[in-house]
Structure 1
Amino acid sequence: MGRYWRIFREFFRACFVEELEYRSEFLGNLISSFLGIGIAILTINIFFYQTDRLGGWTYADVLVLLGVFNTLKGWIDFALRPNMPRLLEHVCRGTLDYILTKPVDSMFYVSFRHLVFWRLIDVALGLGLIVYGLAEKHYMPSLVDILVFLITMASSLVLIYSLWMMLMTTSFWVIRIDDLSFIFDSFFETARFPIGMYRGWVRVILTYVLPAAVITNMPALSLLGKWNMATALIAGLLAVVFLWLARRFWRFALRSYTSASS
């Protein structure tokens, strides 16, 4: 574990130096992030113009949920989005050969080699929106609430990584799909809203098949004091199971890989 932490630090340092070469883009990216979260808040206000609850959630609750979503999105765009689409390119061009010959785990390398630091702005804005939502609700989370929130947030990040990794691993066979990431984005966007607003089979799928309810709803409910130990344990267990599945699927895919460069 220590070895891979040192490797990640080297990835971090190299990408940070590269980002400093384009400091003039920081202001534009900052404005873009503010506009994005502003539009999201405007959308929520439009919903609440006609109702006082959305899927059983109050306005302040949904602000906390949106803050959780934006925080997770920031981490995704910081570490995962710069890497996942590259896997399809590596498989199609045969450059995965060079990664497989490196003295480092290939799944780790293709997952975290590239980092985009300015996306951490979205993490900060998301955390700020969480604080604002809690202030709007006049609720102060306890230390236990915060601890459960951290556990469920970590579980959500592992779940997101595992689901996206399994999806992108299909590129070993389905190489004609132009952008597998679009499928993941469509799924992740459903986690922006309370799971209670979905009905019928859609709600069943987003709760039990593709756990969108776990990814954002559970961390938000934890901060709002509406959690229980069973749901926290379920979130952690789901994260471990899906990470194990992603790892097994990656190893299976490597056995089927035929170099495109030879």
Structure 2
Amino acid sequence: MKYVRLLKEFIRAAVVEEFEYRSNFFANVLGTVSGLFFALLTLQVFFLQTEQIGGWSFEQVLVLLGVFNALSGVVSMVLRPNIGRIVQHIRKGTLDFILTKPVDSQFFISFRHIVFWPVSDVLVGFGMIIYGGWKMGVAMSLFSVLWFLVIFLAAVVTLYSLWFLMMTLSFWFVKVENLTLVFTSLFETARFPVQVYKGWLRVLLTYLFPVAVLTTFPAAAFTGGLSGREALISLLMAGGLLVLSRLFWKTALRNYQSASS
């Protein structure tokens, strides 16, 4: 409960701060809508040439694009403004102050600086998911919605763990910011179902950089096409990477020499 209350305070502070600059919210909504317009336009061009992409219909890909948009909002809200600062904390020595606080350092670094305005990306993403499901005639029951949210949460945890693992490398390497560009480029491949990719590339995008877990499996869960094996992969991937990120962070702290010593 201590961490729940602390998270509420972080969110409250973020909301108060963002409402001081309300124009940022409307600018982000405009950016979200314009980006969505061009994404849908590109998607429409693809489907003018074919009826399916990787065995997925237009409505199914629309749901997948909604999942991608919602995850992009999570990246902008939480991951980039928080985990992206690990390098600066180490370089400037401000990590020392975090380690002396009576709170878990990984939790503090992960959620201290939440940016509120990208919530529009999340809301628009879920709107696309619902609209795509409605166009497909998906029957949404309480169980199906909860099942989708579980798989979507697994995608969020997987994305968080991958990003945290990557930025923790800054304890040993200086130029890890360049890895962020690589990570972002790989994340862009999640705009399309993993079935589009063939052979070894599909295997890599399922197990090494799990694009399938990030967007394909949550979209399939919502449309009713997720198999038990794929669900198990999602849950094991999320749990395994979260544990690995925790162990890697603890190892990094044990090898950390503070700025003061």
* TM-score bucket (shorter structure): over 0.9
2:203 maps to 1:204: yes
Cross-structure match for 2:171: 172
Q: How much has 1:259 moved relative to structure 2?
A: 2.5
2:35 maps to 1:36: yes
- Distance in 1 between the 2:179 and 2:256 partners? 18
Please tell me whether the aligned partners of residues 154 and 238 of structure 2 are also in contact (alpha carbons under 8 angstroms): yes
Q: How much has 1:118 moved relative to structure 2?
A: 0.9
2:155 maps to 1:159: no
Q: What runs of 5+ residues in structure 1 fail to find an aligned partner? A: none
Sequence identity (%): 49
- Distance in 1 between the 2:249 and 2:177 partners? 20
3-state SS of paired residue (1:117): coil
TM-score under structure 2 length normalisation: 0.95
Cross-structure match for 2:60: 61
Question: In 2 relative to 1, CA 156–178 (structure 1 residues): closer, same or farther, beyond 3 Å?
Answer: closer
- Distance in 1 between the 2:21 and 2:260 partners? 33
Instruction: Please give the residue correspondences for 1:21-32 in structure 2 after superposition, counting only pairs within 5 Å.
Output: 21-32=20-31
> What is the identity, as a one-letter code, of the residue corresponding to 1:87?
I
Cross-structure match for 2:246: 247
Please tell me whether the aligned partners of residues 72 and 122 of structure 2 are also in contact (alpha carbons under 8 angstroms): yes
Cross-structure match for 2:2: 3
Q: How much has 1:133 moved relative to structure 2?
A: 1.1
Q: How much has 1:130 moved relative to structure 2?
A: 1.0
Q: What runs of 5+ residues in structure 2 fail to find an aligned partner? A: none
Aligned residues: 261
3-state SS of paired residue (2:51): coil
Two-structure CA RMSD over aligned residues (Å): 1.5
Q: How much has 1:261 moved relative to structure 2?
A: 5.3
2:226 maps to 1:227: yes
Please tell me whether the aligned partners of residues 169 and 176 of structure 2 are also in contact (alpha carbons under 8 angstroms): no
> What is the identity, as a one-letter code, of the residue corresponding to 2:193?
P
- Distance in 2 between the 1:110 and 1:246 partners? 13
User: What per-residue deviation string (whole Å, max 9, x for no partner) do you get for residues 172-227 of structure 1?
Assistant: 11112334322221222111111011122211101122211011111111111112
> What is the identity, as a one-letter code, of the residue corresponding to 1:73?
S
Please tell me whether the aligned partners of residues 70 and 123 of structure 1 are also in contact (alpha carbons under 8 angstroms): yes
- Distance in 2 between the 1:261 and 1:15 partners? 30
Bigger shift: residues 152-161 or 8-17: 8-17
Instruction: Please give the residue correspondences for 1:14-25 in structure 2 after superposition, counting only pairs within 5 Å.
Output: 14-25=13-24
Runs of 4+ in 1 over 4 A off after TM superposition: none
- Distance in 2 between the 1:217 and 1:26 partners? 29
Cross-structure match for 2:186: 187
Q: How much has 1:249 moved relative to structure 2?
A: 0.3
2:74 maps to 1:75: yes
> What is the identity, as a one-letter code, of the residue corresponding to 2:166?
L
Question: In 2 relative to 1, CA 51–19 (structure 1 residues): closer, same or farther, beyond 3 Å?
Answer: same
Please tell me whether the aligned partners of residues 24 and 117 of structure 2 are also in contact (alpha carbons under 8 angstroms): no
User: What per-residue deviation string (whole Å, max 9, x for no partner) do you get for residues 127-174 of structure 1?
Assistant: 111122122223323433222211101111111111110000001111
Q: How much has 1:51 moved relative to structure 2?
A: 0.9
> What is the identity, as a one-letter code, of the residue corresponding to 1:86?
R
> What is the identity, as a one-letter code, of the residue corresponding to 1:152?
I
Please tell me whether the aligned partners of residues 167 and 176 of structure 2 are also in contact (alpha carbons under 8 angstroms): no
Please tell me whether the aligned partners of residues 73 and 122 of structure 2 are also in contact (alpha carbons under 8 angstroms): yes
Cross-structure match for 1:145: 144
Please tell me whether the aligned partners of residues 155 and 234 of structure 2 are also in contact (alpha carbons under 8 angstroms): yes
Cross-structure match for 2:255: 256
3-state SS of paired residue (1:23): helix
Cross-structure match for 1:120: 119
Cross-structure match for 1:46: 45
Question: In 2 relative to 1, CA 8–173 (structure 1 residues): closer, same or farther, beyond 3 Å?
Answer: same
- Distance in 1 between the 2:4 and 2:126 partners? 25
- Distance in 1 between the 2:131 and 2:149 partners? 18
